[in-house]
Amino acid sequence: MARDESFEVLSDASNAVIARHPGRSHPGVLVQGDSLRALLDDVDELVEEADGGDLGAVKDVSLIIQARLRDLLSHYEAVLEQEGWELPYSGRVSG
Protein backbone atom coordinates (compact mmCIF):
# COMPACT_ATOMS: atom_id res chain seq x y z
CA MET A 1 0.00 0.00 0.00
CA ALA A 2 1.32 3.43 -0.93
CA ARG A 3 2.03 5.94 1.78
CA ASP A 4 2.93 9.61 1.76
CA GLU A 5 6.39 10.35 3.18
CA SER A 6 8.81 13.24 2.92
CA PHE A 7 12.20 12.71 1.31
CA GLU A 8 15.21 15.00 1.39
CA VAL A 9 15.84 15.71 -2.31
CA LEU A 10 19.46 16.61 -3.07
CA SER A 11 19.12 16.66 -6.86
CA ASP A 12 16.11 16.46 -9.12
CA ALA A 13 18.07 16.01 -12.33
CA SER A 14 16.15 14.15 -15.01
CA ASN A 15 16.69 10.37 -14.69
CA ALA A 16 19.09 10.95 -11.79
CA VAL A 17 17.11 12.05 -8.74
CA ILE A 18 19.22 11.84 -5.58
CA ALA A 19 17.15 11.67 -2.38
CA ARG A 20 17.40 10.44 1.19
CA HIS A 21 14.61 8.48 2.79
CA PRO A 22 14.12 9.49 6.42
CA GLY A 23 14.86 5.94 7.59
CA ARG A 24 18.17 5.65 5.72
CA SER A 25 21.55 7.07 6.65
CA HIS A 26 22.68 7.85 3.08
CA PRO A 27 20.92 9.21 0.00
CA GLY A 28 20.00 6.94 -2.88
CA VAL A 29 19.27 7.24 -6.57
CA LEU A 30 15.71 7.15 -7.86
CA VAL A 31 15.70 5.25 -11.15
CA GLN A 32 12.67 5.75 -13.38
CA GLY A 33 10.95 2.60 -14.57
CA ASP A 34 11.79 3.17 -18.23
CA SER A 35 15.46 3.69 -17.39
CA LEU A 36 15.49 0.55 -15.27
CA ARG A 37 13.87 -1.38 -18.13
CA ALA A 38 16.46 -0.05 -20.61
CA LEU A 39 19.25 -1.21 -18.31
CA LEU A 40 17.69 -4.66 -18.02
CA ASP A 41 17.29 -4.81 -21.81
CA ASP A 42 21.01 -4.07 -22.15
CA VAL A 43 21.86 -6.84 -19.68
CA ASP A 44 19.54 -9.25 -21.52
CA GLU A 45 21.36 -8.40 -24.77
CA LEU A 46 24.68 -8.94 -23.02
CA VAL A 47 23.60 -12.43 -21.92
CA GLU A 48 22.36 -13.28 -25.43
CA GLU A 49 25.64 -12.16 -27.00
CA ALA A 50 27.62 -14.11 -24.41
CA ASP A 51 25.54 -17.23 -25.08
CA GLY A 52 26.22 -16.78 -28.80
CA GLY A 53 29.93 -16.44 -28.21
CA ASP A 54 30.22 -13.01 -29.85
CA LEU A 55 32.87 -11.48 -27.60
CA GLY A 56 33.02 -8.27 -29.62
CA ALA A 57 29.31 -7.66 -29.08
CA VAL A 58 29.64 -8.65 -25.41
CA LYS A 59 32.31 -6.00 -24.95
CA ASP A 60 30.28 -3.36 -26.81
CA VAL A 61 27.16 -3.92 -24.69
CA SER A 62 29.25 -4.13 -21.52
CA LEU A 63 30.77 -0.73 -22.31
CA ILE A 64 27.30 0.77 -22.78
CA ILE A 65 26.12 -0.56 -19.41
CA GLN A 66 29.35 0.55 -17.75
CA ALA A 67 29.02 4.08 -19.14
CA ARG A 68 25.41 4.41 -17.99
CA LEU A 69 26.21 3.23 -14.48
CA ARG A 70 29.41 5.30 -14.29
CA ASP A 71 27.53 8.47 -15.33
CA LEU A 72 24.84 7.85 -12.73
CA LEU A 73 27.34 7.11 -9.97
CA SER A 74 29.49 10.12 -10.93
CA HIS A 75 26.41 12.34 -10.61
CA TYR A 76 25.63 10.75 -7.23
CA GLU A 77 29.17 11.43 -6.02
CA ALA A 78 29.15 15.03 -7.25
CA VAL A 79 25.82 15.77 -5.57
CA LEU A 80 26.90 14.23 -2.27
CA GLU A 81 30.16 16.17 -2.34
CA GLN A 82 28.32 19.42 -3.14
CA GLU A 83 25.92 18.81 -0.24
CA GLY A 84 28.70 17.88 2.21
CA TRP A 85 27.83 14.18 2.51
CA GLU A 86 30.43 11.44 2.77
CA LEU A 87 30.16 8.58 0.32
CA PRO A 88 28.78 5.31 1.74
CA TYR A 89 31.67 3.47 0.04
CA SER A 90 35.35 4.02 -0.71
CA GLY A 91 36.90 4.58 -4.10
CA ARG A 92 35.20 7.30 -6.10
CA VAL A 93 34.42 6.56 -9.74
CA SER A 94 34.82 10.22 -10.70
CA GLY A 95 37.70 12.59 -10.28
Q: How far is CA 1 from the centre of its chain?
A: 26
Q: Which amino acid would we find at residue 4?
A: D
**What is the spatial distance between Cα 77 and Cα 70, in angstroms, rounded to a whole number?**
10
Every domain of the chain and the residues it spans? 8-83
Vertex 15, ends 94 and 37: CA angle to 5°? 105
pTM of the model: 0.86
Q: What is the pLDDT along the chain (95 residues), one digit of tens a residue?
A: 888 889 999 999 888 899 999 889 999 999 999 999 999 999 999 999 999 998 999 999 999 999 999 999 999 999 999 999 999 999 998 75
